[in-house]
Structure 1
Amino acid sequence: MSFLINIDAVMPADVNDNDITEDGVFQTSTQPTQMSAMIFKIRLFRLSSKICQAIENLSHLDEITLGNLDAEVGAEQHQWDSVFLVDGSPSLLDTSSYAHWCVLQLYAHQLYLLLHRPFSHPQPTNGRSYLAASREKCIASGAALLDIHRQLVELPRLRHYRWYAHGMSGFCAFHGAVALASCLLAGTSEEFESRSYRAMFDGAVLRIGLLQNKSPICVKAYPILGHLQSLLSPSQFQWSDSAGHEFGYSFDNWIDTIQWLNPDSVNWDVWDSVLHG
């Protein structure tokens, strides 16, 4: 999709339909318009194409490029905050704006994971260096994906958007959960408050389990997350064990081979031998 980066097309005007008249286009409101979310999605799509092109050849993704792409995602997030939030908080009267903000944030944190996971392994492979900041970014973005999914499921103000938690948002939560589990399982000498992240992971497993009757993605994700949950219990799993190392290596390879922007790319069958073997 690299050709999409260079498409030279004019963005649609950020106005409402009734702002367009025979005499011209008038922007009458400082509030988000009917086109605001769509414009941001187009911008994010172009940025995601740029990021996917960069990670196709990880040997060419150096720390400078990584930092620049990370900053571009952050700049988009800053714009979303200024348009959809009020002083950094959701509007009490405009629930649709907060829903749009949540959906955009899901994609942003997926992009952060795509960018930083190759550098988050404490024992890097294929010549990739380990960056503690990338591991921190993966932990933060994994947790953010789980929290946004929780809000879509639990917050009364988002009840009209709850269906989204059964589809793409559920898949984003699965992405966040496996990325977070990978970091929790690997462990490093660096200290961080793992208990709060473990609680978020456990909450996500419970929530996804309860959504199985509404979501095909949750049906497939729940057994995998349940298995990872058991591995996070020290009494059941020792990372120093050779079998543990083998599973960890296979698990990370599985994560890295998935096209996380496309749910249909997941090979769920590879887990059959792990879960039922």
Structure 2
Amino acid sequence: MSALLNLDAIMPADVNDNDIKCDTILAPSSQPTQMSLMKFKIQMFQLSTKICRHLASQSKEDEATLSIFDRQVAGEQSQWDAIYLLDGSPNLLDSSGYAHWCILQLYAHHLYLLLHRPFCKPRSSQFRSASRAKCIVSGKALLDVHHQFCDLPRLRHYRWLVAGLTSFYAIHGAMAIASCLLDEAENLELSPYRAEFDAAVERIDKLRGSSQICAQAYPILNHLQ
């Protein structure tokens, strides 16, 4: 799908439909518009394509490239915070905006796991303790978002998302945490993450009847558990 990046197309204006008049387009407001999520998704598609091209290439993983991509993902996240959050916290009056922010966070933390995975293994010559910490934090973040879509009342209208990619990302997060726990079984600082992992496995178990992704992943997660 990376060929889509070569298409010469103009991005739609980041405005609501009623801001488009016969003779003009009104300036976008500081609030999320009907196009904000689409704009951010396209930007993440462009960035994720670059990252996946790099990871699939024969070039050796290096910390300089890791730092560049890391900053770019963080830059995208800061844009989402500015639009969807109110003083750094969810806007209680805008459930759809918070749901969109959560969806975008799934993409970001998925990319963090892909970027930091090569540097995460303690016995590897490329091991970075910062990357290991990032994998744990991002794995937990994916499980947190999954938990909210499953159980948070204000996101009940978006609960259908857990049958698909939302659970896929949660499974990725659970696998990352499981890997870290298995590598450092005696590390007491990681013990709280075992509870996070167990709770995620329980949610995946409950979703097996409605999600093919969960049905396929549960036996593996249960074995690791």
Same fold, TM-score > 0.5, yes or no? yes
Cα distance in structure 2, aligned partners of 1:31 and 1:61: 39
Cα distance, 1:167 vs structure 2:
1.0
Cα distance, 1:186 vs structure 2:
1.1
Which range is displaced more, 196-205 or 209-218?
209-218
Cα distance, 1:210 vs structure 2:
1.2
Q: Which runs of 5+ in 1 are unaligned?
A: 230-277
Give the 3 Å change call, closer, same or farther, for CA 106–198 of structure 1 in structure 2.
Answer: same
Contact 1:116 1:138 in 2 (8 A): yes
Tell me the TM-score normalized by structure 2.
0.94
Contact 1:4 1:49 in 2 (8 A): no
Cα distance, 1:74 vs structure 2:
0.4
Cα distance in structure 1, aligned partners of 2:194 and 2:173: 12
Q: Which runs of 5+ in 2 are unaligned?
A: none
RMSD between aligned residues: 1.8
In the alignment, is residue 116 of structure 1 matched against residue 116 of structure 2? yes
Q: How does 1:156-167 map to 2 (within 5 A)?
A: 156-167=153-164
Cα distance in structure 1, aligned partners of 2:4 and 2:118: 24
2:202 corresponds, among 202, 206, 230, to 206
Provide the residue aligned with 2:150 in structure 1. Answer: 153
Any idea what the Cα deviations from partners look like across 1:105-160, whole Å, max 9, x if unmatched? 00111000110101101122xxx611111111111111111110000000000000
Cα distance in structure 1, aligned partners of 2:123 and 2:101: 35
In the alignment, is residue 144 of structure 1 matched against residue 141 of structure 2? yes
In the alignment, is residue 85 of structure 1 matched against residue 67 of structure 2? no
Tell me the TM-score normalized by structure 1.
0.77
Task: Give the share of equivalent positions with the same residue, in percent.
Answer: 59
Cα distance, 1:188 vs structure 2:
8.3
In the alignment, is residue 135 of structure 1 matched against residue 132 of structure 2? yes
Larger radius of gyration: 1
Cα distance in structure 2, aligned partners of 1:192 and 1:4: 47
Any idea what the Cα deviations from partners look like across 1:203-224, whole Å, max 9, x if unmatched? 0011111112221111111111
Any idea what the Cα deviations from partners look like across 1:88-121, whole Å, max 9, x if unmatched? 1111111000000011000111000110101101
Q: How does 1:210-229 map to 2 (within 5 A)?
A: 210-229=206-225
